[in-house]
């Protein structure tokens, strides 16, 4: 799970688009939007049925985000939520985002 989340975060940091993966019984999507060293916004999308504790596990593993900083969202930047979809957002430390990008080079 740690590797999948880190790969999704780095992929989205590179292009600003959502990156997603199918896992056991659900789909996990990550979208990161950075603004040249200012706030870095992270959205986590979970589609499908997951045990309640798994959502907390996923959110806790997103690098550079405060574990207690996640807020539920009612939409994504470009669309409303679909049935069986939940979205959470947080801010990522821009220095951590830069370290993640440098490590991927």
CA angle 61, 65, 71 (to 5 degrees): 95
Contact call for residues 29 and 88 (beta carbons, < 8 A): no
pTM for the full model? 0.88
pLDDT by residue for the chain (105 residues), tens only, comes to: 889 999 999 999 999 899 999 998 899 999 998 776 568 999 999 999 888 789 999 999 999 999 999 999 988 767 788 888 999 999 999 888 888 888 765
């Amino acid at each position: 799970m740690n590797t999948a989340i880190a790969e999704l975060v780095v992929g989205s940091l590179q292009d600003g688009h959502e990156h997603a993966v199918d896992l056991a019984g659900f789909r996990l999507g990550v979208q990161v939007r950075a603004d040249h060293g200012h706030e870095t916004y992270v959205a986590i999308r979970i589609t499908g049925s997951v045990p309640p504790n798994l959502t907390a596990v996923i959110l806790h593993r997103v690098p550079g985000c405060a574990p207690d900083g996640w807020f539920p969202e009612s939409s994504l930047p470009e669309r409303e939520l679909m049935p069986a979809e939940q979205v959470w957002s947080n801010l990522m430390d821009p220095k951590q985002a830069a370290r993640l990008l440098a490590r991927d080079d």
